[in-house]
Structure 1
Amino acid sequence: MIKQLPPRSTLTWATLALLSACSATPVVPSSLVQARTAMEEAQAQPEVVRLASDELQRAGEALRQAEQAQTRDAGADTVGHLAYLARQRVTLAVDSASSRSGQAAVRNAAAERDREQLGRRTAEADAAGAALGQAQQNQATQQARISEMDSQLRALKAQPTDRGMVVTLGDMRFATNQSTLSADGEHSLSQLADFMKRFPQRRVLIEGHADSQGSSESNQRLSERRAQTVNNALLSLGVAADRLSATAVGETHPVATNATAEGRRMNRRVEVIFVPEDVTTNPPAPRS
Structure 2
Amino acid sequence: MKNYHLTLSLLAASLLAAACSTTPLTSLLDQAREDYRVVQSSPKAATYAPLELQQAGDALAQANASADHKDSQEKVDKLTYIAKQKIALAWEVTKQKSAEAESADAGKQRDQMLLNQRTAEADRAKLLAQQAQMDANGARQITETAQADAAAAQLAARNAQDRNAQLQAQLNELAAKKTDHGIVITLGDVLFGTDLARLNAEGMRSAQKLATLLQQNPNRKVLIEGFTDSTGTTAHNQELSERRANAVRTGLLEMGIASDRIAIRGKGEAMPVAANDTAANRQLNRRVEISLSDETGAIQAR
**What TM-score does the superposition give when structure 2 sets the normalisation length?**
0.48
Structure (1 or 2) with the larger CA radius of gyration:
2
**What TM-score does the superposition give when structure 1 sets the normalisation length?**
0.50
